[in-house]
Structure formats: C-alpha cells, structure tokens
Amino acid sequence: MEDLEERPSPEELLELVESVENVEFDVGKGYLTVYFGYAPGVGKTYSMLYDAHLLLEKGIDIVVGYVETHGRAETEALLKDLEIIEPVIYDYKGLKLREVNYEKIIQRKPQIVIIDELPHTNPPGFSEEKRYQSIKRVLQAGIDVFTAMNVQHLESLKDLIYQITGVEVRESVPDPFIKDAKEIKLIDLPPEELLVRLSEGKVYVKDMAEEARRRFFKIGNLIALRTLALRVVADQLDQKLKNYLRRRGITTPLGLKEKILVGVYASPYASQLVRATYRIASELGGVEWIALFVETEKSKDFTEEEKKWLEKALDLARRLGGRVECIKGKNVAQEIISYAKREGITKIVLGKPRREGALTGSIYKNLILETEGIDIYLIAPRVKAELPKSIEKKGFDRYLDILRRYFG
C-alpha cells in the first residue's frame, strides 16, 4: 500500500509532461527541441516556423539561422516578420553554398534560434564536420535551438532503415544527441496524405535518385517508418517518466508501457528462451525486450561449448530485434532485480528449473519476493536440446551443474 500511496497523481503526471524537462538539464545551457518526422514532407519546417510566430507574439526573442522552404509558398510566407541571420556563403568546387553563420548567431545571442536540417554535413573548412556538432556550440552558449530531422537519419536505425526501404542513408545523427533533447515534437501525417503531397510535387527529397524515391515512398515503408518514429518519441517520454519517478524514490513500474527482460545464460536451452521471449513481446504488440547476461566469477570457467551457447543466444536476440545487455556482478538474482527496477521492466522471463527444489533456491526466491509489480515468466523447453559429445561423455552431472549455476 505504501508503494501505491507514493505513486504520482494524474495532476502530477501532467506537471511532468509540462515542466519536468527543466530539472534535467544544466543551468546556463541552451535547450534543444527536435521536430521529428518519419519522412520528408510531413511538415517539420512549417511547424517550426508556425511555432516561432506564436512565441514571437509572446515576446520571445526568436530568430531564423537556417531553413529550407524548398520553394513552398505556404512555408515561405511564415518567414515574414521573423528575423533572419544571414547565412555565410561558401565557395566549394564552384558551388555557392549557404551555410549557417554560427558566429553571428552566438554574437546576436537570441533566446531561440531555428536551424533546420539537423543531419546536414558541413562543407570543408568548418570547425565541425556535422551540423549537430555546430549546434552543440550554440547550445553551450546558452541559446535554445529548434531543429528538424526524420527518423531514418537516426544512427542506430541505419541498418534497419536499409532493410525496410532499400535506400542507404548517408547522413546520420548519433542517438545520444537526440535523447538529450529537452523535447522531441512528433510531426505526423497519415501516409496516404503524404503520398498525395508527393504526387502534387510538394515533397522535396534531397539527394535521392528517382528510382530510390520510388522504392522509399511505398505505403508499407511509410507505415514502418511512422511506427519507428512513434517508438522513438515514446521511448524519450518513458525515460523522462522514469527519471521523474526515480527522483521521488518510486521503483515499482506503473504499467504504462510493457518492457520485457529475459535472463540469458550459457545453456543449451538459451536460444529457445530467447525465441519464447520474442513471441511474448510480439503477442503484446511488439514491445521492447532486453536479453540480459550477468557475468560472474564463475563465467571464467565456461567451456568453449558453453561460450558458443551463450554467443548464439545473444546473437539471436539481436537478430530478433531485442537489446542485448551484459553486466558484471557477484549475485545474479540481485543484478537482475536491480536492472529490472532501474529500467522499468514489467515482465521477467527465465527458464523453468529442471531439478527438484530449484524454485525455492536463491535466484527464484529472491526474484519472486523482491520484484513487486513485475510479472515472472518461467519457460519450459519445448524441444530437447542436443547435448555436445563432451557433455555426454562426462554424463549429465556436468550439464546439471551448468543449470545449478544459473537457477540456484
């Protein structure tokens, strides 16, 4: 009951959404706001400029450092009444390039500056290679920055984006830079409407050949990209909520978002356990899941066969879309419990013990008693694992010893 009484009220959660960000950043540094979309043409630049006018009416000192309107009349109209910091013109191989004048922005020191196209690569001669690195300098000067990007430019998703769309993304932004943003504003548009805008010539795709554009703008691709964008924004909100709860000393999950943890060990059944966890995650709607291996002193004694079991299971988790975490510790149960509470895990998956009395052993007993609010799943092997000959020669004593190490 004490845990329930400590949970935030709906009013406090609303306060979290509106103002908790102010607690998470160093005083004196600018805040980053990212207008985030799933594809070109959803309206990121338009939304930035529209918001700029609302802030201008409130007396906020906001200027434009760089925007790309791509000739769209409705977007260009929003530049009216906004102060524009004139760009620097760079001559690169006979081309006149318009680039952000960072020095002038820092000298002008507005409250907020709009700098579009976050994944952009700076031309030779810049002190930073990438635009996001230059924006860091503006933030360090205490200036808030509004910027925009699409989900396909997130570094961790490059391989997945290529698998989905067949289009290789050349410019990317590191995930930590986005995760540290004060706010990620999702700019959304139904894929069907985006395709209409594309047919009307209202979508500009930078550096994308016609064939690549046809492959990219398929309804299935757009749905997948939209799902990824929604997940990125949801993850950032989830992290802010966890930080808020942690500051209040609340470690039990609120059940707002399912998150599954599977404990993986050097067992011939480890891969089956990973597959079972993937199925549970899929049945719950493709929720996030993590494969966790706790490395103890006993791990140093693994045989080559045991190492292969472990490596195979962790590789399988990665291929199935799970996150793999390896941590060191002395007590497997306590490490799993601490990780689960820290990361807001709602379900823990373990292999069902194969010997009498194991359920009352230290790992299972502690997990059940010390994980209030977290469901515990015990998965029985569906198929008998093929044991290596080296274990067959030694008999099942060696195999049982492996299970005892993990299951207590």
Q: What's the pLDDT tens digit per position in 1-22?
A: 334 444 555 555 555 555 444 4
Higher pLDDT, 178 or 64: 64
Cα–Cα dist 9/23, whole Å? 19
Residues of the chain with pLDDT > 90, as a percent, come to 39
- The tokens 């102060």 sit on which residue? 83
What does the block give as tokens for 18? 């509106």
CATH class held by domain 259-407: alpha beta
Q: How confident is the model at residue 86 (pLDDT cuts 50, 70, 90)?
A: very high
Q: How confident is the model at residue 380 (pLDDT cuts 50, 70, 90)?
A: confident
Q: Which of 307, 293, 291 is nearest to 388 (CA)?
A: 307
Supply the DSSP string of 296-317, one letter for each residue: -GGGGG--HHHHHHHHHHHHHH
Report whether 186 contacts 47 (CB < 8 A).
no
Residue 378, CA distances (Å) to 262, 277, 338, 383, 389 in order: 10, 10, 19, 15, 28
| 325 phi and psi angles, rounded to 5 deg | -130, 135
Q: How confident is the model at residue 26 (pLDDT cuts 50, 70, 90)?
A: very low
Report whether 89 contacts 109 (CB < 8 A).
no
Query: Would you say residue 30 has pLDDT above 80?
Result: yes
Report whether 143 contacts 109 (CB < 8 A).
yes
* pLDDT the model gives residue 79: 93
* pLDDT the model gives residue 22: 44
* pLDDT the model gives residue 20: 45
* pLDDT the model gives residue 59: 96
* pLDDT the model gives residue 407: 41
| pLDDT (mean) for 362-379 | 81
Question: Which residues are paired to 261 by β-bridges?
Answer: 290, 348
* pLDDT the model gives residue 4: 40
Q: Where in the chain is the domain with CATH 3.40.50.300?
A: 2-246
Distance from the first to the final alpha carbon of the chain: 31
Mean pLDDT of the chain: 82
Q: How confident is the model at residue 24 (pLDDT cuts 50, 70, 90)?
A: very low
Q: Which of 57-66, 326-335, 389-398 has the lowest mean pLDDT?
A: 389-398
Q: pTM of the full predicted structure? A: 0.61
Q: Where in the chain is the domain with CATH 3.40.50.620?
A: 259-407
Q: Which of 8-17, 111-120, 192-201, 339-348 has the lowest mean pLDDT?
A: 8-17
Residue type, 111: Q
Q: Does domain 2-246 have CATH number 3.50.50.60?
A: no
